[in-house]
Amino acid sequence: MTRRVLLIEDEPNIIEAIRFLLTREGWQVETHSDGSDAVEVVRKVAPDLVILDMMLPGKSGMDILRDLRELPDLAALPVLMLTARGQTRDRELAEKTGVSRFMTKPFSNVEVLTAVRDLLAQASRP
């Protein structure tokens, strides 16, 4: 069964790097770059995992995460949040909001793969 990842990111270089990395590992990667309609895109794509940038045009990743956690059918969806700002305050706010994992840019390929594998494995446990 192919796992579907939705990458919500607005930096073309990061989009291509993550798409290449995950596609090579067998994941189907959908991408979206605007925060304003991200929740609707999550519903439409129905991913197994969302990789979400914190700073997006239209709506912040933190607001998108908050919206996802308030929806009963998406509340348990694994979300890996990416940020260029690795401040403790951002991490704490994301954790309080219900992020599954938090990663600071720049990150290595190994870090991304490990996080995605771990989150999908946790999500598939009963």
Which pLDDT tens digit goes with each residue over 45-91? Answer: 999 999 999 999 999 999 999 999 999 999 999 999 999 876 888 88
Separation CA 40–CA 109 (nearest Å): 28
Mean pLDDT, rounded, for 116-120: 93
Q: What is the pLDDT of residue 126?
A: 65
Nearest to 10 by CA among 77, 44, 61: 61
Domain regions of the chain by residue span: 4-124
Nearest to 31 by CA among 41, 21, 40, 103: 41
Q: What is the pLDDT of residue 109?
A: 93
- pTM score, two decimals? 0.95
Mean pLDDT, rounded, for 7-28: 96
Do 24 and 16 form a contact (C-beta atoms < 8 A)? no
Do 79 and 50 form a contact (C-beta atoms < 8 A)? yes
The fold of 4-124 is Rossmann fold (3.40.50)
